[in-house]
Amino acid sequence: MSIRITDNAQYSSVIDNLFNIRKQYQDVMEKLASQKNINNISDDALGVTRVLGFKQTNQAIGQYQSNIDNTNSWLSATEGKLNNANDLLTEASGLAVSQSTGTANADTRKIAAQKVQAIMDEMLSLANSKLGDRYLFAGSRSDVKPFESVETAATIDEPMYGKANAYGGTVVKSGAYTGTKNNAYVLKIVDGGLRSAATYKISDDGGATWGAVSAPTDLDSDVDLGDGVKLTFAAGTFAENDLFYVNALVSGYYKGNDGALNVSVNKDSSAQYNITGEEAFTDKGDGSIDVFKALQSFKDALTDNNVDGISTAIGDIKKAQDQINLCTAKCGSRANRMEMAKNNLSELEFNMTSLISATEDADLAELSTTFSMKEVALKAAYEVASRISSNSIISFLK
Partner 1 sequence: MSLSGLLQVSRNALASYQMAIDVTGGNIANVSTPGYSRQRPVIMATGDVQGGATNTQMSVEVTKVERFFDSYLEVQIVDQQQKAGYSETESSLLGRIELIFNETKGAGLNDVMGRFWGAWDDLAINPGGQVERDALVSASEELATRFNTMAADLQDIQQDANLSIKDTVSEINKLASNIADLNKTISERGNVSGESNRLLDERSEGLKSLSKLIDLNYVVDDNGALNVFLPNGKQLVTGNVAWELNFRNDHVVFGSSTESMDQILAQGDKGKLAALLNVRDENIPDYQGKLDDLAKEIITQVNNLHQEGYDAYQNTGNDFFVPAGSENIAKKMAVKSEIINDVNRIAASAVVSSGNGEVAQAISVLKDQLLMNSDSTTFGSYYGSMVGQIGRDVADANSNAEHQDTILTQLISHRDSASGVSVDEEMMNILKYQMGYNAAGRLCQTVNELLDTLMNMVK
Nearer to partner 1 (CB atom), residue 215 or residue 394: 394
Residue 180 contacts partner 1 per CB under 8 A: no
For 264-287, letters b (16+ CB in 10 Å) and e give ebbeeeebebbbbbbbbbbbbbeb
Residue 6 contacts partner 1 per CB under 8 A: yes
Closest by CA to 66, choosing from 336, 261, 263, 259, is 263
Residue 398 contacts partner 1 per CB under 8 A: no
Residue 277 contacts partner 1 per CB under 8 A: no
CA distance readout (Å), 173 to 160, 167, 182: 10, 16, 17
Residue 343 contacts partner 1 per CB under 8 A: no
Site for partner 1 in 94-153 (CB under 8 A): 132-135, 138-144
Backbone angles phi, psi at 325, to 5 degrees: -65, -35
Residues 212-251, mask of contacts with partner 1 (x by CB under 8 A): ----------------------------xx-x-x------
Nearer to partner 1 (CB atom), residue 81 or residue 293: 81
Nearer to partner 1 (CB atom), residue 189 or residue 313: 189
Nearer to partner 1 (CB atom), residue 69 or residue 304: 69
Residue 179 contacts partner 1 per CB under 8 A: no
Choices 9-17, 93-101, 109-117, 280-288 (CB under 8 A): range interacting with partner 1: 9-17
Q: Whole-number minimum distance, CB 253 to partner 1, in Å?
A: 18
Backbone angles phi, psi at 314, to 5 degrees: -55, -50
Say how far apart CA 191 and CA 198 lie, in whole Å: 5
The answer to whether 189 and 200 have CB atoms below 8 angstroms apart is yes
Closest by CA to 87, choosing from 126, 135, 130, is 126
Residues 278-317, mask of contacts with partner 1 (x by CB under 8 A): ----------------------------------------
Which residues on neighbouring strands pair with residue 246, listed in sequence order? 185
Closest by CA to 311, choosing from 7, 8, 104, 51, is 104
Among left, alpha and beta (phi > 0; psi -120 to 50; other), residue 226 is left
Which of 36, 115, 181, 201 is the binder for partner 1 (CB under 8 A)? 36
Residue 52 contacts partner 1 per CB under 8 A: yes
Residue 178 contacts partner 1 per CB under 8 A: no
Residue 360 contacts partner 1 per CB under 8 A: yes
Nearer to partner 1 (CB atom), residue 197 or residue 208: 208
Choices 40-48, 105-113, 300-308, 338-346 (CB under 8 A): range interacting with partner 1: 40-48
Say how far apart CA 152 and CA 150 lie, in whole Å: 6
Q: Whole-number minimum distance, CB 142 to partner 1, in Å?
A: 3
Say how far apart CA 165 and CA 188 lie, in whole Å: 10
Question: Is 176 in a helix, a strand, or coil?
Answer: coil
Give the CA dihedral 357, 363, 365, 367, nearest 10 degrees: -140
Q: Whole-number minimum distance, CB 51 to partner 1, in Å?
A: 8
Closest by CA to 57, choosing from 396, 333, 355, 367, is 355
Q: Whole-number minimum distance, CB 186 to partner 1, in Å?
A: 6
Q: Whole-number minimum distance, CB 245 to partner 1, in Å?
A: 5
Residue 211 contacts partner 1 per CB under 8 A: no
Which of 111, 172, 208, 358 is the binder for partner 1 (CB under 8 A)? 208
Residue 91 contacts partner 1 per CB under 8 A: no
The answer to whether 256 and 144 have CB atoms below 8 angstroms apart is yes
